[in-house]
Amino acid sequence: MGGHMQQTNAAAATALYDAGPANDAGDAVMARWLQSAGLQHLGSPVASTGNNDQRHLPNLLMQGYGAQTAEEKQRLFNLMRNLNFNGESTSESYTPTYQASSAMPSSEGFFSPEFRGDFGAGLMDLHAMDDTELLSEHVITEPFEPSPFMPSVNKEFEEDFNLPANRQQRQQTDAEPLGSLPKSEKENTSVAKIKVVVRKRPLNKKEIARKEEDVVTVSDNSLTVHEPKLKVDLTAYVENHEFCFDAVLDEDVSNDEVYRATIEPIIPIIFQRTKATCFAYGQTGSGKTYTMKPLPIRAVEDLMRLLRQPVYSNQRFKLWLSYFEIYGGKLFDLLSERKKLCMREDGRQQVCIVGLQEYEVSDVQIVKDFIEKGNAERSTGSTGANEESSRSHAILQLVVKKHVEVKETRRKNNDAKELPGKVVGKISFIDLAGSERGADTTDNDRQTRIEGAEINKSLLALKECIRALDNDQLHIPFRGSKLTEVLRDSFVGNSRTVMISCISPSVGSCEHTLNTLRYADRVKSLSKSGNSKKDQTANSMPPVNKEALLASNDVEDIFEPPQEVNVQETGRRIEKESYTTSTTDFRQPTSFREESGIPSISMDKGRSETNNSSFGGSASQRNHLSSYPQETSDREEKVKKVSPPRGKAWREEKPDRPQNLSKRDVRSSDIPTLTSFRQNTSETASRQYETDTSLDENIDALLEEEEALIAAHRKEIEDTMEIVREEMKLLAEVDQPGSMIENYVTEQSFVLSQKAAGLVSLQARLARFQHRLKEQEILSRKRVPPR
Ligand SMILES: Nc1ncnc2c1ncn2[C@@H]1O[C@H](COP(=O)(O)OP(=O)(O)OP(=O)(O)O)[C@@H](O)[C@H]1O
């Protein structure tokens, strides 16, 4: 299908081309192409000669009247390569040679922006970016190779994010909303795997009032931190630290431009089984929340636009949202009254968050409401640098799922093509807590110290993972923290990671800024050598019967293709399916959610404004269901079934739960175990329900025990500290002249037995809890009875 579409497009492009150079649109198109490469000044000679046709791009390169400098030539070459690259999926990439340029045999391979979709030419470079092409730190050489004809041409650094140069063009593309489908699977691989972007915020009022200097200067993709220093003889001098990143966004760059430089290129490949993560890193008050906040909203706009395309709407791709935070090493649902969540890992090391509420969304306004609601629930506090400082890592996830009706017969035959509610792709936005919070561990109250320690731990764990990946280590310590467990997806498989490092420009933040930049540099270095080996390593799991996994009904996201090549195949399969199964799917009277007992309710805001009922038989639900009249009553009945009474926190249905949305409780039933992959038919629904209920209760009890265990551990540490103080006192006394050694021995012996008793008790508690964990695991496996 993709191939067909591309052929059609190529033909259309040729037709456009054949329409002749007199075409008015041609000038604009050519101008945009040139502008996208920062070569707008070359546009005039072309226009004046009437050569407003893409075939003349090589002439610009070759004939000497266009590109003069090495940099211009490089840019022009990149432009040509990208045009060709995106337009022809079947041919080799265009490699300009003298012969090729003069004969122009590849002209048909050039691709009009009209047929490249609405990305606008400004994103071409971004898409063509190869993650093996990044420059290393402190590289001060020109970012372009002297000649495009050198074999090392692939090593050049694309000027993807040359924002000052491209800003004008980007503003133009504002009017052209993203609405195209990925034209080629190449698009998937052409988006950098790890992208590190730095954003400098302007000096704030306090800093200006304190007359603090701006010590960060930005130039294209690099920046310099001018660190004031003192010599031993107290002479002042400035040490310059230069860094180079995929993009450096200066203080005057808007949030919209940040979106374009970071998330926009990833959106289309979310539909090709990509798991993308964007996280903001930086000291408190550096602009992480300011930067992250608008990104999901923009992403939803674009995702919704794509979802409305027939190719996706026909096969019922839906968008789901969840929002949670990691605070003090624990997970809390920000859209469900901060309900505590459990993180579990299945046999395939896929992380699932038990209890997390997912909401199907179909409207940007609803997403805004969710984000506001979630932000209001976030753990914040006040710091010297930021009045509203985040004390947690907040994670907002947007998941595209393919909702497929399942034919009973096919499902029984383990037909791998029927994957109801399967995750197609997802994008996570992570607003990390301030990176210097670890330093808060010595002062403040106990709570702040614990917070600081937790944040420190998670950021260190993140660093450790990055280091391990960097060193191609076999073992990646994802389990080092909750954060890294959640982020695991970002570094393995078909993933894309965008790290936005936020920095404050003030001289007072110089040290933190340098730390942030060094951290960012470390992440950047990950992408330098490519990640193929790392991916394999991280995905090295025992062989699993893929067909059996794919035959699962109730498990989402069960198969992570281990390598890019598989990912592409999968992407192709999904695209193909969209045409072969959509009609049948749409007519299927029974939805997967109904069968599995999960309410499937439309998120039409317009409709639902008139009703207040949020769950189980709301007006919006009825509206949606009216197109399936035969199943309404059944569905409502089953909606009740899937909300069994649970532990105290989960039992309550709060009246202020967000309206207009269908809610899905990703409970333990979503933990994909190998056993559970094989079952979840309607016949087993009631047994399932019973097991689910007891499993839920079990999880509640387990959570309470977990709390108690951690509290006991904390108490044990406090007791130990008390004992240590006691021992120090004893030592100090025994050192005094005339001290009684007998007293010392007796008292020390008592102290030691106290110490031992504390440790033994904690150890016993740990063993009990470990046993409970095993029990729970067995129960969760049991929930799917054998056929
Ligand atoms: N690029 C920017 N342009 C204008 N104002 C900004 C920018 N970045 C941040 N600010 C302002 O700086 C202040 C602190 O920003 P923000 O809360 O995003 O910091 P943070 O890094 O999330 O801090 P914390 O880690 O403490 O949560 C806010 O008032 C915000 O509006």
Residue 43 has pLDDT above 50, yes or no: yes
Q: What is the ipTM of this complex?
A: 0.98
Mean pLDDT along residues 440-466: 67
Mean pLDDT along residues 453-465: 77
Closest CA to 111 of 179, 177, 32, 39: 32
Asked if residue 284 belongs to a known ligand binding site, the reply is yes
Q: Average model confidence (pLDDT) for the chain?
A: 62
* Tens of pLDDT, residues 483-535: 888 878 766 777 888 999 999 999 999 999 999 999 888 888 766 544 433 33
Mean pLDDT along residues 381-397: 67
Asked if residue 627 belongs to a known ligand binding site, the reply is no
pLDDT top residue among 490 and 669: 490
Q: Give dist(CA 128, CA 665) in Å, integer.
A: 39
pLDDT top residue among 378 and 723: 723
Asked if residue 282 belongs to a known ligand binding site, the reply is yes
Ligand 1 atom with the smallest distance to the CA of 199 is 1
How high is the pLDDT of residue 378? 80
The answer to whether 373 and 334 have CB atoms below 8 angstroms apart is yes
Q: Give dist(CA 293, CA 633) in Å, integer.
A: 40
Mean pLDDT along residues 273-285: 88
The answer to whether 567 and 272 have CB atoms below 8 angstroms apart is yes
Mean pLDDT along residues 65-92: 52
Q: Which residues surround ligand 1 with Cβ inside 6 Å?
A: 201-202, 204, 282, 284-290, 383, 386, 388-390, 433-434, 502
Ligand 1 atom with the smallest distance to the CA of 201 is 1
Ligand 1 atom with the smallest distance to the CA of 391 is 27
Asked if residue 617 belongs to a known ligand binding site, the reply is no
Confidence of residue 233 (pLDDT cuts 50, 70, 90): confident
Q: Give dist(CA 781, CA 778) in Å, integer.
A: 5
Q: Whose CA is nearest to atom 8 of ligand 1?
A: 287
How high is the pLDDT of residue 256? 94
- Counting ligand 1 atoms within 8 A of each CB, the residue from 251, 386, 430, 448 with the most, and so the one to mutate, is 386
Cα distances (Å, whole numbers) of residue 167 to 25, 101, 164, 235, 257: 22, 30, 5, 42, 8
Ligand 1 geometric centre to CA of 771 (Å) = 46
Ligand 1 atom with the smallest distance to the CA of 431 is 22
Phi, psi of 614 (to 5 degrees): -100, -20
The answer to whether 253 and 237 have CB atoms below 8 angstroms apart is no
Confidence of residue 322 (pLDDT cuts 50, 70, 90): very high
Q: Give dist(CA 461, CA 329) in Å, integer.
A: 12
Q: Whose CA is nearest to atom 13 of ligand 1?
A: 285
pLDDT top residue among 186 and 84: 186
Residue 86 has pLDDT above 90, yes or no: no
How high is the pLDDT of residue 319? 93
Closest CA to 156 of 183, 128, 175: 128
How high is the pLDDT of residue 244? 94
The answer to whether 197 and 499 have CB atoms below 8 angstroms apart is yes
Cα distances (Å, whole numbers) of residue 416 to 316, 406, 570, 696: 17, 11, 12, 30
Mean pLDDT along residues 354-367: 90
Ligand 1 geometric centre to CA of 286 (Å) = 5
Asked if residue 288 belongs to a known ligand binding site, the reply is yes
pLDDT top residue among 309 and 689: 309
Ligand 1 atom with the smallest distance to the CA of 282 is 21
Q: Which of 103-107, 354-358, 623-627 has the highest mean pLDDT?
A: 354-358
- Which of 29-43, 509-523, 650-664, 750-764 is the least confident region? 650-664
Asked if residue 289 belongs to a known ligand binding site, the reply is yes
Mean pLDDT along residues 163-180: 41
Q: Give residue for tokens 């924002």.
A: 163
Q: Give dist(CA 350, CA 559) in Å, integer.
A: 9
Ligand 1 atom with the smallest distance to the CA of 380 is 27
Structure letter (DSSP) for residue 1: -
User: In sequence order, which ranges of 557-679 are alpha helices (DSSP H)?
Assistant: 564-580, 582-587, 592-595, 605-608, 619-625, 632-641, 648-651, 674-677
Classify residue 738 by burial, with Cβ atoms within 10 Å: 0-12, 13-18, 19+: exposed
Ligand 1 geometric centre to CA of 277 (Å) = 20
- Which of 9-18, 116-125, 562-571, 663-672 is the least confident region? 116-125
Whole-prediction pTM: 0.49
Report the percentage of the chain scoring pLDDT > 70.
Answer: 45
Ligand 1 geometric centre to CA of 498 (Å) = 19
Ligand 1 geometric centre to CA of 279 (Å) = 15
How high is the pLDDT of residue 164? 40
How high is the pLDDT of residue 66? 58
* Tens of pLDDT, residues 597-614: 333 323 333 333 333 332
Dihedral angle computed from the Cα positions of residues 239, 142, 112 and 14, in that order, rounded to the nearest 10 degrees: -160
Q: Give residue for tokens 């400035």.
A: 238
Closest CA to 399 of 294, 554, 556: 556
Mean pLDDT along residues 726-735: 88
Residue 578's region, left for phi above 0, alpha for psi from -120 to 50, else beta, is alpha
How high is the pLDDT of residue 549? 29
pLDDT top residue among 786 and 50: 50
Residue 208 has pLDDT above 80, yes or no: yes
Ligand 1 geometric centre to CA of 200 (Å) = 10
Q: Give dist(CA 54, CA 112) in Å, integer.
A: 8
Largest CA distance in the chain: 108
- Counting ligand 1 atoms within 8 A of each CB, the residue from 290, 392, 393 with the most, and so the one to mutate, is 290
Asked if residue 309 belongs to a known ligand binding site, the reply is no
